[in-house]
């Protein structure tokens, strides 16, 4: 890698804004906020709107759409199209 052109890659804590779940990873993201982690060190804190802790797909709370009856509902609303 060329020296001096890459951003600093450092440990960062990401925290879910909805659930409060936090995890430590590495990133180039910067933040003025900090948090003390369980290892006693202080890391930059990034607040994320959605993480795997709150996303419906990963939590199993995803809604399934009722696909049965959609055609019938459309036909009732707009009438059956005749060729």
Q: 48: burial class by Cβ within 10 Å (0-12, 13-18, 19+)?
A: middle
Residue-range definition of the domain harbouring residue 32: 10-78
Q: Give the model confidence (pLDDT) of 23-78 as tens digits.
A: 999 999 999 999 999 999 999 999 998 888 887 776 777 666 666 677 778 888 88
Provide the number of structural domains found in the chain.
Answer: 1
Residue 15 contacts residue 45 (beta carbons within 8 Å): yes
Q: Is residue 70 part of a domain?
A: yes
Q: Is residue 2 part of a domain?
A: no
Q: Give the model confidence (pLDDT) of 5-35 as tens digits.
A: 999 999 999 999 888 999 999 999 999 999 9
Q: Is residue 1 part of a domain?
A: no
Residue 36: the pLDDT is 96
Q: Is residue 56 part of a domain?
A: yes
Q: Is residue 4 part of a domain?
A: no
């Amino acid at each position: 890698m060329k020296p001096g052109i890459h951003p600093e890659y450092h440990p960062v804590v990401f925290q879910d804004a909805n659930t409060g779940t936090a995890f430590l990873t590495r990133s180039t993201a910067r933040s003025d906020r900090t948090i003390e982690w369980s290892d006693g060190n202080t890391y930059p804190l990034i607040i994320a709107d959605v993480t795997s802790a709150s996303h419906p797909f990963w939590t199993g709370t995803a809604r399934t759409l009722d696909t049965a009856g959609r055609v019938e509902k459309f036909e009732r609303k707009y009438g059956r199209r005749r060729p």
